[in-house]
Structure 1
Amino acid sequence: MTAYPSDPAVAAFVTAVNAGDKAAFFATLTDDATMSDDGTDRDLSAWAEREIFSSNGRMDIEDVSPDGRALTATYTNATWGGMRTRWAFTVTDGHISRFETEQA
């Protein structure tokens, strides 16, 4: 990685994704966290299982916003290969309450 998020919750999210650590991933989120993929809201648990954990998802961060809550990354998994993506995170009380990802 050439950049890393300064926001602790977002940094923990990226670390958990890259480690394939499901428990750590869900620990970064609020109990009622939501997400969207390419502008469509998804079931977060089902999406994470499909796009991260069962397909070995990984993030190689290219750029991070000054507040550490938005980033551009090459996202790679066994299903789709690698693609350039944008990620935006809403952090509430130190946990991610929403994230949005899309192709960049």
Structure 2
Amino acid sequence: MTIQPARLSDPAVRAFVTAVNAHDRDAFMDLLTPDATMSDDGADRDLAEWIDNEIFSSHGHMDVDAESDGGHALIAQYRNDTWGEMRTAWRFTVTPDGHIARFETGQA
């Protein structure tokens, strides 16, 4: 059963999923710390290049199936125009002021 983004526990993670699904690059970038990092399938990637390729230019969309760790870990069906749909795991490092310093994703 899909969890609606508005029901996600952590406000930063909720805003992340909302921005991805709305294809709102400005809102997405506002969530990140200036030195934010990310990894995909265990390998660190260039953040700007990855989000362009995997989210914004390919119409990424997340349907969240489960959350844990206070809302900082998600299992989601992720789809985009490049790869189609896959079951993915997401983990977020959220700063005390509510920004995302790092996110990690990969196939679940």
Q: Residue in 1 aligned with 2:61?
A: 58
Q: TM-score, normalised by structure 1?
A: 0.96
Q: Which structure 2 residue ranges, 5 or more long, are not aligned?
A: none
**DSSP 3-state at the match of 1:56:** coil
**Could you say which structure has the higher helix fraction?**
2
Q: CA deviation at 1:70?
A: 0.4
Q: CA deviation at 1:57?
A: 0.2
**DSSP 3-state at the match of 2:48:** helix
Q: TM-score, normalised by structure 2?
A: 0.93
Matched letter for residue 2 of structure 2: T
Q: Residue in 1 aligned with 2:90?
A: 87
Distance 2:63 2:70 in 1: 18
Following TM superposition, the consecutive aligned residue runs of length 4 or more in structure 1 with deviations greater than 3 angstroms are none
Percent sequence identity is: 66
Q: Which structure 1 residue ranges, 5 or more long, are not aligned?
A: none
Deviations 1:28-53 (A, max 9, x none): 11010000000000011100000000
Alignment of 1:1-104 (within 5 A): 2-3=2-3, 4-92=7-95, 93-104=97-108
Matched letter for residue 97 of structure 1: A
Q: Is the 8 A contact 1:5 1:69 kept in 2?
A: no
Matched letter for residue 27 of structure 2: A
After superposition, the Cα gap between the structure-2 partners of 1:42 and 1:66, relative to the gap in structure 1 and judged at 3 Å, is closer
Matched letter for residue 100 of structure 1: E
Alignment coverage as a number of residue pairs:
104
Distance 1:46 1:18 in 2: 18
- State the superposition RMSD in angstroms: 1.1
